[in-house]
Amino acid sequence: GKTLDTAAIQKAIEACAAAGGGQVRFPPGAYLSGTVYLRSKVTLYLDAGATLIGTADLAQYRQFSPPAGTFEARLGAWHRALILGESVEEVAIAGPGRIDGNKVFDPRGEERMRGPHTILMGLSSGITLRDFTVEDSANYAVMLMECSRVDVAGVTFTGCWDGVHFRGWPDRPCRDVRITGCRFFTGDDSIAGRYWENVLIAGCVINSSCNGIRVIGPAAHLVIHDCLLWTLP
């Protein structure tokens, strides 16, 4: 948890991908890291007692580049993330462990304080996020940008800004997304986005100091059921 492990983690991911895919396993312990790139057909598995921690060194983070001509393409470093997947397929993050965004502070970031997102997937499909905890995300815990076939199940979000955030574009929405059995305790929107299609939100506990579920822009075939939404006075 004190020595930067980015290079070692990335080396394991690349070796796993080169072998045709599989699982990169984090045994119990603390792993300090900057941006790691997730590759197709690779699962990051966090054992109980394992914590992936975002470094406070902003120079260690890389960013996703949205398609040219989109509004988001102008936002530059706003797309930094601890775990970054770009144009990947059949990837997963799973296990009972934790990902700690470490409340990384950026005086030049959003609202002059927010740092990198924790997980950002762009232009990707076949994404599974299951059973782990995201805590103290420096910005959004999970950002999905024009992604499809996404399953978020049993994930707990604590102390984050947004929990799960969608960004699609006209005629290029995020689609076929399931968010089930998750628990959200967020400082901003728990679930939010624009241009999303065929989305199910079910069986979740949603506690937000802003919006529980926020439809910022167009949403088609959105189903929300059996969720508990609550706030403290």
Tens of pLDDT, residues 141-192: 999 999 999 999 999 999 889 999 999 999 899 999 999 999 999 999 999 9
Q: Which residues have CB under 8 Å from 120's CB, separation 6+?
A: 64, 79, 80, 81, 83, 84, 85, 140, 142, 143, 145
Half-sphere exposure of 77 (CA within 13 A, CB side): 13
Contact 131, 96 (CB under 8 A): yes
Sign for the CA dihedral angle at 14, 18, 21, 22 comes to negative
Angle at 135 between CA 231 and CA 103, to 5 degrees: 105
Question: Where do the H-state alpha helices sit in the chain?
Answer: 6-18
**Cβ(64)–Cβ(145) under 8 Å?**
yes
Q: Which two tokens stand for residue 133?
A: 């905890």
Per-residue pLDDT tens over the stretch 7-61? 999 999 999 999 999 999 999 999 999 999 999 999 999 999 999 999 999 999 9
The mean pLDDT of the chain is 95
Is residue 96 scored above 80 in pLDDT?
yes
Q: Quote the CA–CA distance of 189 and 201 in Å, as a whole number.
A: 14
Burial tier of 230 (Cβ tally within 10 Å: 0-12, 13-18, 19+): exposed
Q: Give 7's contacts (C-beta < 8 A, 6+ positions apart).
A: none
Which residue, chain included where needed, has tokens 């990051």? 44
Mean pLDDT of all residues in 113-132:
97
Where does residue 197 rank: exposed (0-12), middle (13-18), buried (19+ CB within 10 A)?
A: middle
Give me 57's structure tokens: 């060194």
Name the residue with higher pLDDT: 54 or 210.
54
Report the C-alpha gap between 219 and 195 in whole angstroms: 6
For the entire predicted model, the pTM comes to 0.96
